[in-house]
Amino acid sequence: MNPIKDQVAIAGVGQTPFTRNSGVSALSLAVMSARDAIADAGLTPKDVDGLILFYSNEPISAERIAANLGIPELRWSLNVAGGGNNGGGIVITAAAAIAAGLCNTVVCLHAINRRSTGRVVRSDGGSWTGQTAAVQGFALRAQRHMYEYGTRQEHLGQIAISVRKHASMNPLAMMRDPITMEEYHNSRWITSPFHLFDCCVESDGGAACLLTSAERARDLRQAPVHIVAGVANARGPETTDSLRHSAIASSTSTQLLWDRAGVGPRDMDFAQFYDCFTFTLLAQLEDYGFCARGEGGPFVEGGHRIELGGELPVNTSGGQLSEGYVRTMGLINEAVRQLRHEYAGTPRQVANANFGLVTSAPSPTSALVLRR
């Protein structure tokens, strides 16, 4: 049962440039991306009556964003505390709010500025165990995955290489120079089994999308991208405890997504996986059923399956590994542009793109299935 199915569409997307030092606040980045998403839909802030965002330590709020945009009335808004796992979650939650009649037109956004709000790592030195940064938690799972399934360093490296190849087609990506396997192996260790090139770029940026009813979206400026199904911060047996599992998303959470969508992994024309690290992309290929448990490594070997032109092109903008890191929201915008066929006539366009998957990680799991 999925009463939201196809009832709501993404009618506009907006994002700022992704940079290392924007020199402006996260709030500035947030309001610029919201302004651009509204304009992309051919609307004005007076047409917006809903707002949802997530934040960790960014000083952004629905109140400040509405004030900056001059939105006269918000019928529904939420400030969700937390990180990247919320990206798909705020979008499906906004879709549910629209489908339930709580509001009509919602801006969903996130913005991040490492200089004005602190770097990913803790300045206090973290825990006595040496755990100071999120990357280490993912490295623990990656190491375990290697032990359990024979996943190799080269498998992680191939993801870095393939996603960078996609970024080389994206003039807005922060990292566009192709990398070789030798360069991957020679990049410095961060925390084993992760080299520098296994880690996403730290960036400043804001990204937003605008949702409204599918019926209304048909009359707006852009081709609507329908929200088929989603899950918001779901958990299951494989993700109960970060010290216990090597999975990123539980099979119960991903099955819930496919059941609600009425389509499956084989129906996806592309996937934009949450790629804070190469390993999260590899694990989610298994978690979402694109291959069997433990087969993520062999699936990415050589890169032909996961690159543009392959059976499942992934992270076609260069993802968070190479384009920029705005915690899912950039991945959602790329999915929308692919489904609008905005890159038609260029190698970046996924041919005949009709269905796409966007994920947010780590556990809990949020994800969206989108349709042209």
Of 147, 259, 262, 351, the residue at the interface with other proteins (CB under 8 A) is: 147
Minimum Å gap between C-beta 306 and other proteins is 25
Q: State both tokens at 273.
A: 């996986």
The least distance separating other proteins from the CB of residue 68, rounded to whole angstroms, comes to: 34
Task: Tell me the three state secondary structure of residue 42.
Answer: coil
Q: Which is nearer to other proteins, 110 or 145 (CB)?
A: 145
Q: Which residues are catalytic?
A: 274, 325
In degrees rounded to 5, what are phi and psi of residue 76? -155, 130
Q: Please enumerate in sequence order all residues whose Cβ is within 8 A of that of 206, keeping only pairs 6 or more positions apart, or say none.
A: 15, 16, 26, 28, 29, 30, 31, 32, 33, 34, 109, 110, 111, 112, 326, 329
Q: Using the minimum distance from each CB to other proteins, give the nearer residue, 21 or 242.
A: 242
Residue 126 vs 302, nearer CB to other proteins: 126
- Residue 143 sits in the site that holds other proteins (CB under 8 A): yes
Distance CA 354, CA 170 (A): 21
Range in contact with other proteins (rule: CB under 8 A) among 34-42, 164-172, 191-199, 203-211: 191-199
d(CA 190, CA 195): 5
Which residues, other chains included, contact 146 with Cβ-Cβ below 8 Å and sequence gap of 6+?
Answer: 152, 193
Using the contact rule CB under 8 A, the part of the chain among 35-43, 135-143, 177-185, 340-348 near other proteins is 135-143
139 binds other proteins (CB under 8 A): yes
185 binds other proteins (CB under 8 A): no
Stretch of 69-77, 117-125, 172-180, 339-347 lying at the interface with other proteins (CB under 8 A): 117-125
Q: What's the full length of the chain, in residues?
A: 372
Nearer to other proteins by Cβ, of 68 and 117: the residue is 117
121 binding other proteins? (CB under 8 A)? yes
> Is residue 57 a contact point for other proteins (CB under 8 A)?
no
| Cβ count within 10 A of residue 324 | 30
Distance CA 77, CA 74 (A): 7
Closest to other proteins by CB, 139 vs 358, is 139
Residue 152, interface with other proteins (CB under 8 A)?
no
Is 366 among the residues that bind other proteins (CB under 8 A)? no
Please give the structure tokens belonging to residue 340.
Answer: 């609008």
Number of residues that bind other proteins (CB under 8 A): 32
Per-position DSSP letters for 219-250, written without gaps between them: TSSSPPEEEEEEEEEE--GGGS-TTT---SS-
- Residues found near other proteins in the complex (CB under 8 A): 121-133, 136, 139-144, 147, 188-194, 241, 243-244, 246
